[in-house]
Amino acid sequence: MTIDIMLPFWGEPRLLFETVTSVLRQDDPDWRLLVLDDGYPDDSVAPWFEAVQDSRVQYRRNERNLGIVENFRASVEAAEAEYLVVLGSDDLLHPGYVRAVHARIERHPDADIFQPGVVVVDGEGQPSEPPVDWVKQRILRPKATHGDVVLQGEALASSLLRGNWLYWPSLVFRTAAIRRHDFRDDLPVILDLAIILDIVFDGGSLVAMPETVFSYRRHGASASQRSLLDGSRFADDRRFFDEAATRSREAGWRKAARAARIRVFARLHAFTQLPAVLRRGTQAGRRSALRHIFGG
């Protein structure tokens, strides 16, 4: 059962090479990797891939810069296998990642999304647990006394709307399930949660795996961090949660609607970012952050 690892790339080549090397080190060989270079201006990338002697690795450079949303779309459309990953170009697979995912797919053949265990690392690859990840890992992620956690329907929607505990680049999707939906151009920072909720409202289920087989790199130079300072992230979040509350009410999911309306952990996250926004953000960013925390 081959897994297609799709890797939309725009970023630091050194980190990309580390990511690809982590794929090459998988102890289960049943995978394919496609790197979609979105025209990053560095002459070292293409020659590096020319030197990779593995037929499972393909490199494709876009003729023009598509931007994150279009490159994500291209990644999903290019997949050929029944399951796919949209990997970050600075994250790392542990050697047992593919093997662990294969085992869960065999155990839960009807599931549409698989979330492996994740360790967070900083820009230098060292273990790190900033407050947002402490909350995601210790409070928001559903716990099980043993084995996997399987969620679907209102229980899954409520859990994610209470606080998004998923790590997008580590997720494995059933290709058919994600292709039934589209990434939203108007939500460039939270496009991941938006399409996941689309799958959930469409009846999809998720398996949270206990094995820690993925390293997620978090650093301050990301687009999501920049969008906090100019306020666009907060505005997008409010609009998204308002829409989710409406969809939940229409589905008869009262608990999910309440979680979207209250959005307690989204407000808490904004509160933790408030000192940085007040110190370095734009005037619009400061207004947006305060409205996000204290508004209705």
* Per-residue confidence (pLDDT) for residue 279, from 0 to 100: 80
165 token code pair: 């505990």
Residue 221 has pLDDT above 70, yes or no: no
Mean pLDDT, to the nearest integer, of 162-186? 97
CA dist., res. 196 & res. 154, Å (int): 13
- Give yes or no for a contact between 266 and 211, defined as CB atoms under 8 angstroms apart: no
Residue with tokens 């394919």: 32
Helix ranges (H only) for 108-137 are 131-135
Question: pTM score, two decimals?
Answer: 0.92
Mean pLDDT, to the nearest integer, of 202-208? 98
CA dist., res. 187 & res. 13, Å (int): 26
* Per-residue confidence (pLDDT) for residue 268, from 0 to 100: 79
Helix ranges (H only) for the chain are 13-24, 45-50, 68-78, 97-107, 131-135, 153-162, 175-179, 191-201, 223-230, 232-251, 254-262, 264-280, 283-294
Three-state secondary structure along 151-162?
Answer: EEHHHHHHHHHH
* Per-residue confidence (pLDDT) for residue 256, from 0 to 100: 98
pLDDT band at 234; cut points 50, 70, 90: confident
What percent of the chain stands above pLDDT 70? 95
| Mean pLDDT value across the chain | 92
- Give yes or no for a contact between 101 and 3, defined as CB atoms under 8 angstroms apart: yes
Residue 232 has pLDDT above 80, yes or no: no
Would residue 235 be called left, alpha or beta, if left means φ above 0 and alpha means ψ between -120 and 50 degrees? alpha
Helix ranges (H only) for 79-115 are 97-107
- Cα distances from 51 to residues 57, 72, 90, 268, in angstroms, run 11, 26, 20, 47
